[in-house]
């Protein structure tokens, strides 16, 4: 790593030293803030160069300013997201009622399966809105992170709902493949074309919301698979009208089931990683450790943890073993700034907590890993 290093233990800081085992906590702004990086939820945040400066001031004023600005931006964005979700919710509810009526009169399973999936879309969007309200609650009492993970639970619930709906539709589709009932292709085709248009608008509304939020992404995946389902239904309607092959309706339903299963797996996998506190996807713990070790006067790193509190809120904590002289000369605060500036220059970490330990303290640390 090529970098300008600041002499940390040269006696330039007052004797107001932090003692051994000092814990430093800071809030670090995300490196990537553009819409392009926001859309790439799974991309590695390690794509920054190795050049960085450690002259980054990290005082309480900076932390307070960053926290207030971030909180304001998040609140404004959350309000906009809710408006997009409410618009999609109203649109889908009106259309679903009409689709159910046509599905029963025409005898189309594809339309009925789309209506059932649309009902799950409506439930997913309603759950996402409810989770947003919960997540906005401030931390208090024993809820030290507030209700932020309500959005992750909502995303997991959306994944489970997709699995249940897929199982129901799949079972009925297999039965209709074996013994296909008569299906009217004309009404199926008309309703499916209207449904495509409705779902395109709903998907567009949800795409304008913050899709780096797993909660919003869960609702979006519901609507997107429904859109694919309508495409399949249109094809089935055309086939039935032109050839009389009524099994096309059941085949279209099975294609929708496959898309549901794929979307459900993605949501459950992503929400499971957050709930089990795995490192964010794309974050290589070994690379994080390497960057910390390359800071001057750092001897070792242990108890290094990187996890996600909720969407767009990664966190890091670590015990960092440093020269004993850093505490004696009063340079532990400057070293703490050095570590946090290093993270800021290379990783998308919003909250970091370091416990600085003198090298002589390492032998007494239990449970280190």
Over residues 333-343, the mean pLDDT reads 85
Sheet holding 22-27, edge to edge: 22-27, 351-358, 313-322, 298-310
Over residues 77-93, the mean pLDDT reads 86
Cβ atoms of 298 and 292 within 8 Å: the answer is: yes
Over residues 140-148, the mean pLDDT reads 83
C-alpha span between 41 and 63 (Å, rounded): 25
Over residues 146-166, the mean pLDDT reads 88
Q: What's the CATH number for 76-275?
A: 1.20.1510.10
Using DSSP, state whether 307 is helix, strand or coil. Answer: strand
Q: State which fold the 22-45+280-364 domain adopts.
A: Alpha-Beta Plaits (3.30.70)
First to last CA, the chain: 25
C-alpha span between 144 and 328 (Å, rounded): 34
C-alpha span between 289 and 281 (Å, rounded): 16
Over residues 12-18, the mean pLDDT reads 33
pLDDT band at 237 (very low <50, low <70, confident <90, very high): confident
* pTM of the predicted protein model: 0.68
- The 10s digit of each residue's pLDDT in 314-325 is 889 999 998 888
∠ CA 190-194-195, nearest 5°, is 110
pLDDT band at 369 (very low <50, low <70, confident <90, very high): low
From the centroid of its chain, how far is CA 56?
29
In 3D, which of 109, 143, 76, 350 has the Cα closest to residue 229? 109
Over residues 45-66, the mean pLDDT reads 40
Query: Which part of the chain has CATH 3.30.70.1350?
Result: 22-45+280-364
Over residues 264-290, the mean pLDDT reads 90
Asked if residue 247 has pLDDT above 50, the reply is yes
pLDDT band at 77 (very low <50, low <70, confident <90, very high): low
Name the β-bridge partners of 206: none
Cβ atoms of 85 and 202 within 8 Å: the answer is: no
Using DSSP, state whether 211 is helix, strand or coil. Answer: coil
The pLDDT mean for the chain works out to 75
299 backbone dihedrals φ, ψ, rounded to 5°: -95, -40
Query: Which part of the chain has CATH 1.20.1510.10?
Result: 76-275
- The 10s digit of each residue's pLDDT in 292-301 is 998 888 989 9
């Amino acid at each position: 790593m090529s970098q300008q290093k600041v002499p940390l233990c040269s006696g330039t800081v007052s004797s107001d030293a932090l003692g051994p085992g000092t814990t430093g906590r800071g809030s670090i702004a995300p490196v990537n803030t553009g819409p392009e990086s926001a859309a790439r939820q799974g991309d590695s945040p390690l794509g920054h160069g190795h050049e960085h400066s450690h002259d980054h001031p990290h005082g309480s004023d900076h932390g307070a300013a960053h926290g207030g600005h971030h909180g304001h931006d998040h609140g404004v964005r959350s309000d906009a997201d809710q408006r997009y979700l409410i618009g999609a919710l109203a649109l889908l509810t009106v259309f679903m009622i009409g689709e159910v009526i046509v599905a029963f009169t025409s005898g189309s399973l594809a339309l009925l399966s789309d209506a059932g999936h649309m009902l799950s879309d409506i439930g997913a969007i309603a759950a996402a809105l409810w989770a947003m309200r919960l997540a906005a609650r401030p931390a208090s009492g024993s809820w030290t992170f507030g209700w932020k993970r309500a959005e992750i639970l909502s995303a997991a619930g959306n994944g489970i709902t997709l699995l249940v709906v897929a199982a129901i539709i799949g079972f009925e589709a297999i039965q209709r493949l074996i013994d296909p009932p008569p299906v009217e292709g004309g009404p199926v085709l008309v309703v499916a074309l209207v449904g495509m248009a409705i779902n395109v608008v709903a998907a567009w509304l949800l795409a304008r919301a913050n899709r780096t939020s797993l909660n919003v992404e869960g609702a979006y995946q519901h609507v997107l698979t429904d859109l694919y389902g309508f495409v399949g239904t249109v094809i089935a309607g055309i086939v039935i009208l032109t050839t009389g092959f009524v099994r096309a309706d059941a085949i279209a339903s099975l294609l929708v089931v496959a898309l549901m299963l794929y979307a459900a797996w993605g949501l459950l996998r992503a929400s499971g990683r957050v709930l089990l506190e795995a490192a964010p996807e794309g974050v290589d713990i070994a690379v994080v450790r390497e960057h910390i070790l390359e800071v001057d006067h750092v001897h070792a790193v242990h108890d290094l943890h990187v996890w996600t509190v909720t969407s767009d809120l990664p966190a890091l904590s670590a015990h960092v073993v440093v020269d004993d002289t850093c505490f004696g000369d009063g340079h532990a605060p400057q070293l703490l700034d050095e570590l946090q500036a290093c993270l800021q220059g290379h990783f998308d970490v919003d909250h970091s907590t370091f416990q600085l330990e003198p090298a002589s303290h390492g032998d007494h640390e239990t449970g280190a890993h």
